[in-house]
Amino acid sequence: MTAGGRSQIGAPVRVSDPALPKTLDALSRPGRRAYDLPALDVPEGTIPEEHRRAQAPRLPEVGERDLVRHFTRLAQRNFGVDTGFYPLGSCSMKYNPKVADAAAAMAGFFRLHPLQPESTVQGALELLWLFERAVCEITGMARATFQPAAGASGELTGLLLMRAYHERQGDPRRRIVIPDSAHGTNPASVTMAGYDVAEVPSDARGLVDLSALQKLVDSDVAGLMITNPNTLGLFEEEIRELARTIHEVGGLLYYDGANLNAILGRVRPGDMGFDIVHMNTHKTFATPHGGGGPGAGPVAVTERVVPFLPKPLVERAADGRFFWDHDRPESIGRIHGFHGNFAVLVRAYAYVFGLGGDGLREVGERAVLNARYLAERIRSQYPLAYPGPPMHEFVATAKPLRRHGIRAMDVAKRIIDLGFYPSTVYFPLIVEEALMVEPTETESKETLDAFADAMLQAAREAREDPHVLHEAPVTTPVRRLDEARAARQLKLRW
Amino acid sequence: MQFAPHTEDDVREMLDLLGLSSMDELFSHLPADVRLERALDVPPGRSEMELLGDLGRLARRNRHADELVCFMGGGAYDHYVPAVVWALAGRSELQTSYTPYQPELSQGILQAMFEYQSMICELTGLEVSNASLYDGATALVEAVNLARGATGRDRVLVAGTVDPRYVEALETYGRGGGYGPEVLPMECGVVRAPDVGDDVACLVVQHPNVFGALEPIRELFDAARDGGARAIQVFDPLSLGVLAPPGEVGADIAVGEGQVLGNHLNFGGPYLGVIAARMRDVRRLPGRIAGETVDVDGEVGYVLTLQAREQHIRREKATSNICTNQTLIAVAASVYLAWLGPDGLRQLGEACAAKAAYAAQRLTEVPGVSLTFEGGPFFKEFALSFDRPAGEVQAALVERGFLVGPVMGESLLVACTERRTRDEIDALGEAMKEALG
């Protein structure tokens, strides 16, 4: 992208073609068509009249060229990692290697029906088998399931595993402890698993308050659900004590893998005392997030939780053949209609085996280096919310700008005009005017410097010319949108 | 492979700014007893060429649906995916973006969601949809949660002709939700209207059902309505050019597997959980919903709306825990539905039904082959019985170049999409004759 002849990183795309109608519906003309089906080569069927549709659905009637131009325009009105820097905290928006897409586009993978006889899918089963071994090595776990279609689905799977585990001990429990800095999916998953949430506060360091946890846990607590590094980007240095505390009352320790990227090849959840781990392949293993999905949320567990994993699991017979093992009497059952998001898992496999053990360790290092460097570059204007050294992401605050009438969201909108996707704002909830920044390992020093300069420029403008921030963004196809109106005057379809 | 761009000079300069002398110092505050003091036991990294060689070897050990003729069904189907679908949905500005938290930079995805919701409403004859769920089975779980919340009732009745995988999913998620699905008996491949008492939250019916057969759907949903329960239909989106839509046959909530809408078989995922409901349930819907609004200049734009239902706002009181969904697959579905348009959708449905009818007639001419359920109407799929185990027949057909199935108890399912030709159906008949000979 260029703007004014000057090369910019991540410039927002501007499109203005007033001749284009706004929606596919507005583009529709009776009788126009894109479809192209072969002539019927068998006698017509006989669907009984009482089952037939009386009135055709009002789908758009458009030509293929209309369709192409419409969706191309939509794509141009969207910002991805391929467009520019995307430091959205807690989302690990790293570069998505194209080779992974090429792998998923092999007919031997994308043209497989999920229920084909095992003899015809030996390669797919082998891939899952190999990948399971790799994710278990990375996390320090015994076995894994690939059924969960996303991280939140992995969380729920992990909590249902906890439930099954405790019920098997004849000791069903009612509560799950989560930190007050947790991602919203954690408490929502806890509810869906039929548990109550008990919240443990963070201490002055931004870490789980160990003494508060010790007071909170008892024999009714099924488990503790945390991420490490935590949501503030800080490493829970007392992790062994946290593990001991929850294990002493018979609870299990759950690792939310949202931040696994930071510690790849350096620290493994299993070695920290975790019993259940989910991974987000779109974070740690660079699978594209698709504007909201698909992801994949593999769940790996220690030996004592293995019997409860969803079924089937892939096994290898003595003769080397791979098969689906359905004979798992203590399994919690089925989390997904088929085997999970296989094409996403192929991409994650390509990433993990392409980088290898050494490459994965380098990923974690560089992710931490980038975050620490960027935090240092902007901390004069955006102080860190907590003093500890951040890992792969950091939470700063825009609170000093409040006296100029500037909020975190104003900074974010100005950053858009300066050519970047902004950081996460107002999360975690425990930090006022939070700016949660995660550069990832795939960004260069030049990009980080350019972003830091933009952040510092926004802070300067907040003092000198706050109007610029209140007005922002002005370079985008639409400007600030009226979200209150959207919720009040619901318009959810044509 | 490595995608981190740091030169040695970069690393040195960055560490200098931090006052550090080595990468290890970035991790020096981590307790020693949790550090991994060895290399990961994952093979060393390799070049892109070598990696693709390895993956190609695995891919070639599979016999895929271009190599074998695919008559498989059971919830995933070999419909044709037009070239334009992934040429557009695969645009990297869409594919490499995150959930649209900053709407000004995400109008493409947000408008695509809005258009997808619009087309799903048109298709189903219902009033509101969302930006997608994981797949058909988990969409059913969400629909049941919605019905239980909306009615304040507990019991979940499920027709015995609903895909057993979907029932299994209900059983698994029900462990957390505190319910167990009650499966109604089937008679001759369909179900009869049950008694729906005032403790029943919902009645779940799949139509066309897991055997491809058409249920007495209006009677079943009348019973649900009379009992004050939510009527939930599991539907096939590509049946709706021909079959009466869920909204018209009395469904309150419709859920379906959207794989058929322009998505590849992908060995079972990523697929697309489609959900549609009536407006009275909009605040109980799970997941993202895009809504239209205006910006400060009055320009029309789109945002995520009704977010007070969702986990990032409502936390443990959210309608669901779903965060990442299947947005890109929904975008592909939008391209596909617009490609088909109303006429294409009807013609495609008629072609599937006609080919399935022809296949049923042709295959049952083979000695030893009969329809498992005689007489009832079906859409694009039907069940066959043999004079021997269905698994044996399936294996013998693979040898002869055909994927047929899945095996359901004593039966073998056969599905016909618009891709299957008369010649292929005739050849399957010959192969079956040989296999049973």
Q: What is the pLDDT of residues B29-55, one digit of tens each?
A: 999 999 999 999 999 999 999 999 999
**B59 contacts chain A (CB < 8 A):** yes
> B67: exposed, middle or buried (C-beta count within 10 Å: 0-12, 13-18, 19+)?
middle
Would you state the pLDDT for residue B31? 96
Of A57, A337, A493, the CB nearest to B240: A57
Residues 415-444 of A with CB under 8 A from B: 416, 421-422, 424, 427, 441-444
**B51 contacts chain A (CB < 8 A):** yes
pLDDT of residue A231 exceeding 50: yes
Contacts of B160 (CB under 8 A, 6+ apart): B183, B184, B185, B186, B191
In B, which residues are within 8 Å of A337 by CB distance?
75, 135-138, 163, 165-166, 169, 257, 268, 271
In A, which residues are within 8 Å of B238 by CB distance?
none
How sure is the predictor about A18, in pLDDT bands with cuts at 50, 70 and 90? low
**B56 contacts chain A (CB < 8 A):** yes
How far apart, in whole angstroms, are the C-alpha atoms of residue B303 and residue B286?
Answer: 16
Pick the residue with more confidence: B221 or B312? Answer: B221
Q: Please provide the average confidence, as pLDDT, over all residues in chain B.
A: 97
Residues 306-325 of A with CB under 8 A from B: 310
Residues 279-338 of B with CB under 8 A from A: 282, 288-297, 299-303, 305-308, 310-318, 320-329, 331, 334-335, 337-338
Among A1, A14, A59, most B C-beta atoms within 10 A, so best to mutate, is A59
Among B27, B37, B97, B214, most A C-beta atoms within 10 A, so best to mutate, is B97
pLDDT of residue A92 exceeding 80: yes
Arithmetic mean of pLDDT, A395-401: 98
- Percent of chain A past pLDDT 70, that is, above it, reads 96
End-to-end CA distance of chain B: 54
**A373 contacts chain B (CB < 8 A):** yes
Alpha-carbon radius of gyration of chain A: 25
Residue in the block written with tokens 């296999």: B435
Q: Inter-chain contact B329–A240, Cβ cutoff 8 Å?
A: no
- Percent of chain A past pLDDT 90, that is, above it, reads 95
Q: Inter-chain contact A53–B35, Cβ cutoff 8 Å?
A: no
Residue in the block written with tokens 């609903």: B162
- What is the least distance, in Å, from the CA of B222 to any CA of chain A? 15
Q: Tell me the pairing of strands A424-425 and B369-371.
A: unpaired
Cβ count near A56 (within 10 Å): 14
**A39 contacts chain B (CB < 8 A):** no
**B36 contacts chain A (CB < 8 A):** yes
CB A331 within 8 A of CB A308: yes
Q: What is the pLDDT of residues B145-203, one digit of tens each?
A: 999 999 999 999 999 999 999 999 999 999 999 999 999 999 999 999 999 999 999 99
Of A73, A102, A187, the CB nearest to B315: A187
In A, which residues are within 8 Å of B55 by CB distance?
103, 106, 127, 346, 349-350
Lowest mean pLDDT among A82-96, A337-351, B298-312: B298-312
Would you state the pLDDT for residue B437? 86
Would you state the pLDDT for residue B312? 87
Q: What is the pLDDT of residues B91-128, one digit of tens each?
A: 999 999 999 999 999 999 999 999 999 999 999 999 99
How far apart, in whole angstroms, are the C-alpha atoms of residue A72 and residue A191?
Answer: 41
Alpha-carbon radius of gyration of chain B: 25
ipTM of the predicted structure?
0.98
Among A363, A492, A494, most B C-beta atoms within 10 A, so best to mutate, is A492
Report the residue of chain A nearest B348, measured CA to CA.
A37
pTM of the model: 0.97
How far apart, in whole angstroms, are the C-alpha atoms of residue B189 and residue B385?
Answer: 13
Residue in the block written with tokens 């009869």: B192
- Kindly report the CA angle at A358 between A355 and A359, in degrees rounded to 5? 35
Residues 46-75 of A with CB under 8 A from B: 46-48, 51-54, 56-62, 64, 67-68, 71-75
**A118 contacts chain B (CB < 8 A):** no
Would you state the pLDDT for residue A10? 38
